[in-house]
Amino acid sequence: MTNPLASPLAGIRVVEFGHYIAAPAATQLLADLGAEVVKVEPPTGDQARGIGAYGEGIVLAFNRGKKSVVLDLTSDDDRNAAKRLISEADVVVQNLRAGAMARRGLGPDDLVPVREGLVYVSVSGFSSKGPSASRAGLDIAAQAESGLMSINGEQDGDPLRVGFPIADVAASYAVVQAVLAALLRRERTGRGAVVEVSLVDAMIHMQSAMWGEWHTSGQEPRRKGNGQATVAPAADLIRTADGAIVLSAYTPEHFARLCELMGKSWMIEDPRFADNPSRVAHRDVLLAEISQAFGAVPTDECLAALADRGLVAAAVRTYGEVAASADTRASSILTTGVSPDGERYPIPSLPFSLDGVDPAPGRAVPKAGADNDELRRYQP
């Protein structure tokens, strides 16, 4: 059994006013690190609870092991109940619409001065300092306005969103980093903190390498489908006998190894493939040669041969294949959650290992208001 004292955030109380992903995902990570998380929900519950299968998936992913209390923040009594919960909290995380908490007397200006050492985190779609501060900003807005969609998709196709809510998840990681930094500073100085995280800013930061490329190349980053725009082969999709792999071998040494593996050493000296600019210019021919070499070979054999030569390659897997993968099972990334109805399900846990920390499997997602009796009457 895991020693609860080994959990880095044991004894830390977090009060969450969160809907959907960004705030609940952040507090889920804090809970996995040992914090007690109290989820404050409106009478209708977290908005994700009412939007069908996708919303239920969000609830199952990001609310394991939390307590839930239903409070109507338009009611004086319930606002006072919220303040009582916060009076003993170390951290508040909220992603309500801009200004909603402040209008109810629950903003950082109201709470930080009266709760010594409080770390107050607000998550929004756009920066609170700019003209879009009051705009609604879900994940798709951040993907669009951060530049991400402009570089995602086929070269001659429309901009595409990433196939999962990457901006929400990126923002949740930023929240956790900020909370841990603020708690460490509080340990040293006694000071609390006011933290702001926007989905757009998180997504801009996620693309830092592309900003560096924009500076060095002097050209706007552009869509290129699976292949990278300036090197080849790089992140290119290659069909195999029973599936597909992605392959990168764009340094001179790695490209030579690939050519030798394929039995096509002549490509090393061919002017069309002599360097990255040449290979990018002749990418179609390059990929045709690679596809001819691997197209009749099973995926596992392709990966084994490429790995033996130190080349980067990976199989394109479905979720079911990922769950069954020996690497996934060995890493313990998947834990077991329990739905509000008692159903057990696999779900990702912490994306890193830390000695002595092992979030307990089988932690339940609460029904909205499951802990009302305890928390509505809470007295510090």
Say which of 32, 168, 201, 236 is annotated catalytic.
168
pLDDT at 2: 47
Range list of β-strands (E), the chain: 13-17, 36-41, 67-70, 91-94, 119-124, 193-198, 236-239, 244-248, 312-315, 334-338, 344-348, 363-364
pLDDT at 358: 79
Residue pLDDT tens, the chain, 380 long: 445 556 899 999 999 999 999 999 999 999 999 999 999 999 999 999 999 999 999 999 999 999 999 999 999 999 999 999 999 999 999 999 999 999 999 999 999 999 999 999 999 999 999 999 999 999 999 999 999 999 999 989 999 999 999 999 999 999 999 999 999 999 999 999 999 999 999 999 999 999 999 999 999 998 989 998 889 999 999 999 999 999 999 999 999 999 999 999 999 999 999 999 999 999 999 999 999 999 999 999 999 999 999 999 999 999 999 999 999 999 989 999 999 999 999 999 999 999 888 787 889 999 999 999 999 877 76
152, 172, 154, 170: which is closest to 162 by C-alpha? 152
Residue 168 annotated among the catalytic residues of the structure? yes
SS3 17: strand
Rounded Cα distance, 168 and 199, in Å: 6
pLDDT at 380: 67
pLDDT at 235: 94
pLDDT at 5: 52
Rounded Cα distance, 32 and 252, in Å: 44
Rounded Cα distance, 2 and 373, in Å: 29
In terms of Cβ atoms closer than 10 Å to its own Cβ (0-12, 13-18, 19+), residue 102 is middle
pTM higher than 0.85, yes or no?
yes
* Structural domains of the chain sorted by starting position, each given as residue range(s) with its CATH number in brackets: 4-206+331-375 (3.40.50.10540), 236-323 (3.30.1540.10)
Q: In this structure, are residues 46 and 39 in contact, taking their beta carbons and an 8 Å threshold?
A: yes
